[in-house]
Amino acid sequence: MNAEISRSSASGGARARLGWAREHWVAVLGIVLTIWLVLAPLATLVIFSFRLGNPWDPGGFTLDHYTSAYSNPQTWSMFFNTAVLAGFSTAISVALATFFAFLTERTDMPFRNVAWGLILVPMAIPGLLFAVSWTFLLSPQIGLFNIWMRGLLGWFGVEVATGPLNIYSLWGMVLLEGLRGVTTTFLIMVGAFRAMDPSLEEAARVAGASGPRTFFGIFIPLLTPAIFGATMYSFMTHLESLEVPLVIGLPAGIHVFPTYIFYTTQRYTPPEFGLSAALGASFLLVSVLLVYAYRYAMRQEGRFATITGKGYRPRLTALGPWRYAALAVFLLYFALTIAAPGFVLLWSSLLPVYMPPSWELLADVTLEHYREVLFDGDVLDAAFNTLAVALGAATLTMFLSLIVAWVILRKRFRGRSLLDAVTFLPHALPGVIIAIAFMFLYLQPPLNGLRLYGTVWIIMLGLTVSYVAFGSRSMTGALAQVHAELEEASHVSGARWLTLMRRIVLPLVLPAFIGGWIWVASHSLRNFSVPLILATRENWVLSVVMWHTWEDGDPGQTSALGVLLIVALGVLTVGGRWLVSRMGRRQES
């Protein structure tokens, strides 16, 4: 009797789940597609790391790839360089971001609101162009800053033929990566500063605690989870950087993980697919550990939360005579990340052949490079591909993210946290790993019959995987603000799930959806690592074209393309922020 009841109960539960799946077939399809896009390529990467042959003709199983990888001293040197680059770059990014967040949120620094806005501008400069610009600034021979320093040393009787600084070094890469990472880390830290209740600090001062004791006893402990989370996020971001190591590291013979993978698959003859798969699979384990550490840090953040009322006003710290010194530090950062790189890129794009800036060369200024790129058939094809990839990746990413976020927040099931972890895993993976995983998956039979490799579709799917972590986080935060009772009321009234999502959920989260769409689209326009690995002549995008023009020794065309891309990114970002702000005001009214 009990067995019959158990079978009946199990059968009823199965029918209920099947009925839910039929009603929510779009959600089921979205979840399956998300899991496929993330896990299938990574599983293929791991499997191929134990196989001989190549992706389109795999052979037998072996451990030779791991033996070859870890018996090579160059592998360990590469891992060391990667750890140094990611570690020290993270330290610079977090230190500067925390300092700027403190200055703009908790001090009376002059023009702090302007500084808050300007600190976002570096996001409009793609990493490839940022690295290229610094070769014009700190190249030992022609670097503008080095020329100025040599002139200054000459005033003191010190003659230097080259340098004295050299950007083509590991520490040059650390400097550039550290500066590039400030903006994102700043956005993480500034939220923690705004959420902190200043009454705790005031209570400490009333109790007689000194300024330093209050700072280290109250301020820093409350910020610890945010700092740790920002550090983990920044570290994962710096691990995947390809642009700076490729432009700065390769001329100096310095390999880090992304450039090493690039060389094994793109420059070795024949390509070392097995070696790249073995290294990628090893790095996948590190990524899983990083994701676990980051999620643990985010869970601990609530233990340090403080509650503030509507009358919350942060107590500004008076800097006194140091107010303008603090502003000078920010202006130096602005000069190094925006003004100087932007100036030399524009200058390079206006000269027939690059030469250091001087008044005499103004007579040679020309728009020839712009005419060349605007009327080049390959560039126009790449621009079309870039636009198609950006629009497709942004749309697919945000719709999948909305579905995943809804399932995670609204449905109670055992694998919910695992689904959340799967969607966040790609953030800890370098773009080159995602790209080679896609290459292995869609070059192997039978999926090679789809003929995705060599098309814009495979780049679009690779970028979707790269940005689904951001999309799912932004949609989870937006959906958390929508009360479930609205959805329950629509369900009681007989509305189907698609109607619910189209008529209720999507309109309520539309500002966040559009904001996320713009973020993904702008990052897809400038993404370099995924398109570079998956590129063929038929699916080049603008970032790949810029790399090839740079490699071919044409900095003028590279700079002209870069300037046009930066303008397009700026228009998209400013226009997007205006649109999101307007939509937000409409919802509030």
Least confident of 76-80, 171-175, 341-345, 411-415: 411-415
pLDDT at 480 over 90: no
Comparing C-alpha atoms, which of 521, 522, 418, 530 is closest to residue 465?
Answer: 530
Mean pLDDT value of segment 260-264: 86
Per-residue pLDDT tens digits for 296-319: 766 655 554 444 444 455 567 777
Residue of 198 and 568 predicted with greater confidence = 568
Mean pLDDT value of segment 368-390: 90
Which residue type, as a one-letter code, is found at position 179? Answer: L
Mean pLDDT value of segment 91-95: 93
Mean pLDDT value of segment 44-49: 90
Cα–Cα–Cα angle for 408, 413, 419, rounded to 5 degrees? 45
Residue of 223 and 254 predicted with greater confidence = 254
Mean pLDDT of the chain: 82
b/e code 79-111 from CB counts within 10 Å (16+ = b): bebbeebbebbbebbbebbbbbbbbbbbbebee
Check: CB of residue 530 under 8 Å from CB of residue 462: yes
Which residue type, as a one-letter code, is found at position 216? Answer: F
- How much is the pLDDT for 539? 87
Mean pLDDT value of segment 450-466: 92
Which residue type, as a one-letter code, is found at position 362? Answer: L
Cis status of the peptide bond prior to 140, with omega within 30 of 0: no
Mean pLDDT value of segment 420-426: 84
- How much is the pLDDT for 51? 87
Contacts of 239 (CB under 8 A, 6+ apart): 82, 86, 257, 428, 430
- How much is the pLDDT for 307? 44
- How much is the pLDDT for 239? 85
Least confident of 41-50, 106-115, 330-339: 106-115
Mean pLDDT value of segment 321-329: 88
Check: CB of residue 146 under 8 Å from CB of residue 263: no
Gap between the Cα atoms of 103 and 187, Å rounded: 13
Length of the chain: 589
Q: Which domains does the chain have, with CATH numbers?
A: 1-48+392-553 (1.10.3720.10), 70-331 (1.10.3720.10)
Helices (H), 112-168: 112-118, 127-138, 144-155
b/e code 22-61 from CB counts within 10 Å (16+ = b): eebeebeebbebbeebbeebbebbbbbbbbeebbeebeee
User: Tokens standing for 229?
Assistant: 């989370």
Mean pLDDT value of segment 459-481: 86
**Long-range contacts (CB closer than 8 Å, 24 or more residues apart) made by 78-83:** 78/255, 78/256, 78/257, 78/260, 79/257, 81/170, 81/249, 81/254, 81/255, 81/256, 82/239, 82/256, 82/257
- How much is the pLDDT for 311? 47
- How much is the pLDDT for 464? 94
Cα–Cα–Cα angle for 479, 480, 486, rounded to 5 degrees? 70
Contacts of 424 (CB under 8 A, 6+ apart): 291, 294, 295, 469, 472, 473
- How much is the pLDDT for 200? 59
- HSE toward the beta carbon, residue 549, CA cutoff 13 A: 27
Q: How far is CA 30 from CA 18, 33, 400, 457, in A?
A: 16, 5, 6, 17
Task: Report the first-to-last Cα separation within the chain, whole angstroms.
Answer: 61
Most confident of 128-142, 301-315, 572-586: 128-142
Check: CB of residue 272 under 8 Å from CB of residue 265: yes
- DSSP letter for 319, please: -
Write the DSSP string, 14-54: HHHHHHHHHHTHHHHHHHHHHHHHHHHHHHHHHHHTTEEEE
Mean pLDDT value of segment 20-32: 71
Q: How far is CA 122 from CA 9, 301, 340, 390, 394, in A?
A: 59, 28, 12, 20, 21
Per-residue pLDDT tens digits for 493-519: 666 767 777 777 888 888 888 888 888
- HSE toward the beta carbon, residue 389, CA cutoff 13 A: 34
- How much is the pLDDT for 388? 93
- How much is the pLDDT for 226? 75
Comparing C-alpha atoms, which of 38, 36, 131 is closest to residue 463?
Answer: 38
pLDDT at 403 over 80: yes
| Torsion angles phi and psi, residue 54, rounded to 5 | -125, 170
pLDDT at 137 over 70: yes
- How much is the pLDDT for 14? 61
Check: CB of residue 277 under 8 Å from CB of residue 65: yes
Most confident of 145-149, 163-167, 176-180: 176-180
Gap between the Cα atoms of 227 and 223, Å rounded: 6
Would you report the helix, strand and coil content of the chain in percent, each value rounded to 5? Answer: 75, 0, 20
- How much is the pLDDT for 507? 81
What is the pTM (predicted TM-score) of this model?
0.85
Classified as helix, coil or strand, 520 is helix
